[in-house]
Structure 1
Amino acid sequence: MSATDVDGARAAGTGAPARSTTPLAGASGEKRRMSLTHKRNLRLGLLFISPWIIGVAVFIVYPVTYSIGLSFTRYSGMATPTWVGVQNYITAFSDPLVAKATGNTLFYAIIAVPLGLVVALTLAIAMNQNVREVAWYRTIFYAPSLIPAFAMSFIFIVFLNPQFGVFNQVIGLFGGSNVNLLGDPTGVKIAIILMAQFGAGNAALIFLAGLRNVPKTVYEAARVDGAGPIRQFFSITFPLLTPVLLFNLITGVSGALQVFTEAFVITNGSGDPDGGALFYMMYLYKTAFGFAELGYASALAVLLFLTGLALALLIFWLSRRFVNYDVDAA
C-alpha cells in the first residue's frame, strides 16, 4: 500500500477529507496567463500614453535638465558654453535689477493673488444663484477670461490713457484732474493687478464646481438651527471650499511669479517707468534674449523654479491648518 493510500484510509476512518498530493491542474497556467495579460495591458497602456510621455520628456524634462546644466556656464547662444561654476548664482544675489524685479513680483503676488481669490469666489457665488437667467450671468462673468492677455493689455492702454482714456474722462466728470497710472512706478503695478482680475473667471468656475458639491442637506440643517446666510457661509461654505481654495491658491501663486505678458505689452518691453513694471520674468527674458546671457538667464530660471517649489511646499504645509476634507467637521 502506498503512502497516498494510507493517507486516504486514515481520512476515511476519521471522516476527515483526504489530502491530495497531486498539484492543482492549471493553477500555474492560470497564474501565467494572468501575468501575460497584465503585461499586455501594460504595453497597451504605455502605447496610448506614449504621446504624453514623449511630450513631457521633450518639452519639460529635457529643457529643465538642460537649463540646470546651462546655469553653471557662460553662454551667449552662439559660442561654446564656458564653465563658470556657481558664479551666475553669486551674480544673481548681488544684481540690483534682480532685487528690483523680485520686489515688483512679490508686490504683485501679495496683492493680486488674495484679491483674485476674493473676486473669483464672489463670481462663483453669483453664478451659483438659483435664478432664471443664471446661464447668461455665468457666460458674462466668464467671458472676460477668454480675452488674450496681450489684447487685454492694449485695451487697458487705451482705457488708462492720460489724455483721452475713459478712466480719466470719468474722473473729469467729478472735477478731478487727469491721472497717469501707466506713468507711475506704483500705478503701473496697480493697473496690471486690476487687469489680472478680468481673468478670474477660470478660478470662479473651479469655485463654482466646489459650491455645487456642497450637500444641500447641510444648509437645510443649518437653516433649521437658525443660521443666516452669513453664518452659513463662514460655518459651511467656506470650510468645505478650502480644498478648492488651496488649488486656486497654488495656481494663483504660480501664475503671479510668472507675470510677463501684461507688463511687456504695456511698457513695450522696457519695464518702465523707473523699473516699476520690471517683473522677474521680464528681466529673465531680457537677460536671455536682449543681453544674450543665456547662462545667467538659466540661473535666474532655476532660482525662480526653486522659489515656486518652496512656496508650494510651504502652502501645502500650512494647508493642514485650514483645509477641511470632512463634511462632518464643517
Structure 2
Amino acid sequence: MSVLGELRTLTKRPGRGRVKHRDNRAGYLFLLPWFAGLLLITAVPMVASLYLSFTRFNLLQPPEFTGTANFARILGDDRLWKSLAVTFEYVFVSVPIQLALALVLAVVLDKGVRGLAIYRSVYYLPSLIGGGPAIAILWKQVFGSDGLVNYALEFFGIQGQSWVANPSTALSTLVTLNVWTFGAPMVIFLAGLRQIPAEYLEAAKVDGAGSVRRFWSIIVPLLTPMIFFNFVLQIIHAFQSFTQAFIVSGGTGGPADSTLFYTLYLYLQGFGNLQMGYASALAWLLLVIVAVFTAVNFFLAKYWVFYDD
C-alpha cells in the first residue's frame, strides 16, 4: 500500500470523528461563559437601550413609547452641546499629549536603561489605577486650595488657587490626569521599538543621520501601526471617561459646567432626572460619535500608517 493510501486509512479510522467532536464540545464548553457574558451583559442591554431610546421611562413606571421625540430633543438641548464641547476639548487635547509623552519615554527606556523592568512597572502603574475613584479623589485634593500644587507654588512665592473650582482651570486638571495615565500606550510603543531592525538605525547613523533625523525618518514611520492602534484606543477611552469628572466636580459637572463630560451628562439625565429614555438616546448618540471617529481614523490610516512587509 502506498503512503497516501495509508494516510487515507488512518484518517478513516473509526472513533477519530468522535474524538474530534468531543474536543469541539469541550472547546464550546470553555467558551460558554464568554458567550453568556456577550449575550447577557452586552447584547441584551444594547437592544433594551435601543428600545428605551424611543420611550419616556422614569424607572418607576412602565416605558411609554414616544417615537423619535428623544432624538428630536437632542437638537435643542444646549447643555448637551456644552457637554460635547467639553468632551471634544478633553479628548483632542489630552490624547495627543499623552501619546507624545508615552512615545518619548518609550524611546528613552529603549536605550538600555538599567532596571528597565522596574521603570516599566512604575510608569505602567498609573494606567491601572488612574481611572479609579481613589485616584480621582486624590487628584481633587492635589489641585484643591490646600493641595500639593499650591504648596509647591507657595515655595516659589506664588499665590495658588483652587484649580478644580476655577472654570478656566478645572478641565485642565482632568486633562493632566489623563495624560498621567500614559503607561499602557508606552508599553505598546516600547514593544514596537524592540521590533525595529537595528540595521536600519545603524545604516542611518553611518550615513550621518543624527538622533533627531533617525527618530523622524526611521523610528516614527516604523511605529505608525502602534501609533494608530494607541490613538484609536485612547480616543475611545477618552470619550468614555466618567469617574474623574464625576468625583472632581462632585457629580455636577461644575464649576460652570467646565467639567461636564458627555458621559456625566448622560448619567445625570438617567439617574439624576430619572429620564432613562432620553439617557438611552444619548448613549446611542455617543456610540455613533465614537463609531464615526473610529471609521474616519481607519480611512485616514491608509495615508500615513506604514506596514513593513
TM over 0.5: yes
Contact 1:260 1:282 in 2 (8 A): yes
Give 1:36 shift: 6.6
Tell me the distance in 1 between the aligned counterparts of 2:99 and 2:13. Answer: 54
Q: What residue number does 2:139 align with? A: 156
Q: What residue number does 1:10 align with? A: none
Give 1:158 shift: 1.9
SS in 1 for 2:258: coil
> What is the CA deviation profile of residues 76-108 of structure 1, one whole-angstrom value per residue up to 9, with x for unaligned ones?
112111110110001012111111111100010
> What is the CA deviation profile of residues 146-182 of structure 1, one whole-angstrom value per residue up to 9, with x for unaligned ones?
33532222222222222x2221222223332223321
Q: What residue number does 1:48 align with? A: 30
Q: What residue number does 1:318 align with? A: 300
90, 94, 108: which one aligns with 1:112: 94
**2:158 matches 1:176:** yes
User: Which deviates more, 98-107 or 220-229?
Assistant: 220-229
Structure 1, unpaired ranges of 5+: 1-25
Q: What residue number does 1:240 align with? A: 222
Aligned residues, how many? 302
Identity %: 35
Tell me the distance in 1 between the aligned counterparts of 2:270 and 2:126. Answer: 32
Map 1:68-147; keep pairs closer than 5 Å: 68-147=50-129
Contact 1:123 1:141 in 2 (8 A): no
**2:279 matches 1:294:** no
Tell me the distance in 2 between the aligned counterparts of 1:210 and 1:261. Answer: 31
Q: What residue number does 1:274 align with? A: 256
Give 1:196 shift: 1.2
Tell me the distance in 2 between the aligned counterparts of 1:137 and 1:46. Answer: 41
Tell me the distance in 2 between the aligned counterparts of 1:73 and 1:86. Answer: 8
Q: TM-score, normalised by structure 1?
A: 0.85
Tell me the distance in 2 between the aligned counterparts of 1:126 and 1:89. Answer: 49
Structure number with bigger Rg: 1
> What is the CA deviation profile of residues 295-329 of structure 1, one whole-angstrom value per residue up to 9, with x for unaligned ones?
110000000001101110000000011111116xx
Structure 2, unpaired ranges of 5+: 1-7
Letter in 1 for 2:157: G
Instruction: Classify 1:32/1:237 alpha carbon distance in 2 versus 1 (closer, same or farther; 3 Å).
Output: farther
Give 1:39 shift: 5.1
198, 208, 211: which one aligns with 1:226: 208
SS in 2 for 1:181: coil
Tell me the distance in 2 between the aligned counterparts of 1:313 and 1:33. Answer: 49
Tell me the distance in 2 between the aligned counterparts of 1:226 and 1:35. Answer: 64
Q: TM-score, normalised by structure 2?
A: 0.91
Letter in 2 for 1:152: I
**2:195 matches 1:217:** no
Tell me the distance in 1 between the aligned counterparts of 2:19 and 2:308. Answer: 39
Letter in 1 for 2:257: G
**2:287 matches 1:305:** yes
Tell me the distance in 1 between the aligned counterparts of 2:261 and 2:127. Answer: 22
